[in-house]
Amino acid sequence: MTKSGKLLTRARLMEQYEALFECPLCYGEIKVDEGKSLLCTNGHRFDLAKQGYVNMLTTPSKTKYDKRMFDGRKVMNEADFFEPMLNRLSEIVSQWQAVAHKPKVTLLDAGCGEGSHLSSLQEKVGRQVQEDVLGVGIDISKEGVLMAARNDDANLWCVADLAKCPFADGAFHVILNILSPSNYSEFDRLLSDDGVLIKVIPDRNYLTELRSVFYQEDDRREYSNEQTVELFDRSFELLEQERIRYSVRLNPVQLEHLVHMTPLSWGAADEQVRKVLEHDLQEITCDFTILVGRKKEIIR
Ligand SMILES: [Zn+2]
């Protein structure tokens, strides 16, 4: 497909779902204008970039996420590093849909990065529920969203601030928040009354092999996600909490990408990569907690 053809497809998809959007400056309604931009009723305009994403940040932002990190995450996704976790998430969404019976399921990935988690989930859920499923990915990092939009035409991608999401109240049936910070008041506003919030956080043994390379025995901090779970529980009604653990065999190239992907490597990444490769790690442990919640204080 030509570039302009791709852009047109994206503008059409946006048009189809324009009711999801809301102006982040004045909270006005938004329409797609001439297939080129999103325009609110008060004249605020957000152009569709040629790669097919929309930048809806109201103030410019610098993030510490870099391209190597996003490349790393994409490679890890392609290596099926997250596959068992994503399979479980798609089952949770499908089980929810089996009860909710929504005609057009809308997923928001809050903190989508380079988009591969959402792309994969939208595909899996779409196959399982036999309904139209739209994914909307937002991230404050333009680099991440740009990669997402380049790689995936089937979903919508926005550069946006989690604290000022450019979407209407109750716009989403499912909010995904995978290994990324939360904004519970925005999640509460954006989630439909019968929707679910699904948050994935690392558990104790996530990447334990890397930790043991990077930290000395005596200063190796025991990781606990207890506080994160408590905060979730205070903000949403916790319906389910489950742990998923597995290990993945990685080759040296994949290991290098893994190091770039993980926050553990921030700082002297090249040195870290060398150290990891020296240790000849065979398997890497994935250990996540999945939290599923719904809105509190709704009369059912
Ligand atoms: Zn506006």
Q: 5-45 pLDDT, tens per residue?
A: 778 889 999 999 999 999 999 999 999 999 899 999 999 99
| pLDDT over 80 (residue 222) | no
Rounded to the nearest whole angstrom, what is the distance from the C-alpha of residue 38 to the centroid of ligand 1? 10
Measure the CA–CA gap between 11 and 32, rounded to whole angstroms.
7
Rounded to the nearest whole angstrom, what is the distance from the C-alpha of residue 274 to the centroid of ligand 1? 49
Mark the residues whose beta carbon lies below 5 A from ion ligand 1: 23, 25-26, 28, 40, 42, 44
Measure the CA–CA gap between 141 and 178, rounded to whole angstroms.
15
Half-sphere exposure of residue 132, counting CA atoms within 13 Å on the CB side? Answer: 9
- Confidence at residue 19, expressed as pLDDT on a 0 to 100 scale: 96
- Confidence at residue 61, expressed as pLDDT on a 0 to 100 scale: 77
Rounded to the nearest whole angstrom, what is the distance from the C-alpha of residue 250 to the centroid of ligand 1? 48
Measure the CA–CA gap between 233 and 55, rounded to whole angstroms.
32
Query: Each residue of 161-183: pLDDT tens digit?
Result: 999 999 999 999 999 999 999 99
Query: At residue 282, what is the residue type?
Result: Q
| pLDDT over 70 (residue 1) | no
pLDDT band with cut points at 50, 70 and 90 for residue 234: very high
CATH architecture entry for 3-294: 3-Layer(aba) Sandwich (3.40)
Query: Each residue of 77-86: pLDDT tens digit?
Result: 999 999 999 9
Q: Cα-Cα-Cα-Cα dihedral of 104, 155, 206, 215, to 10°?
A: -150
- Confidence at residue 65, expressed as pLDDT on a 0 to 100 scale: 63
The radius of gyration of the chain's CA atoms, rounded to the nearest angstrom, is 19
**Residue 79 vs residues 76, 148, 257, 275, 282: alpha-carbon distances, Å:** 5, 17, 10, 22, 15
Burial of 122 (0-12, 13-18, 19+ CB in 10 A): buried
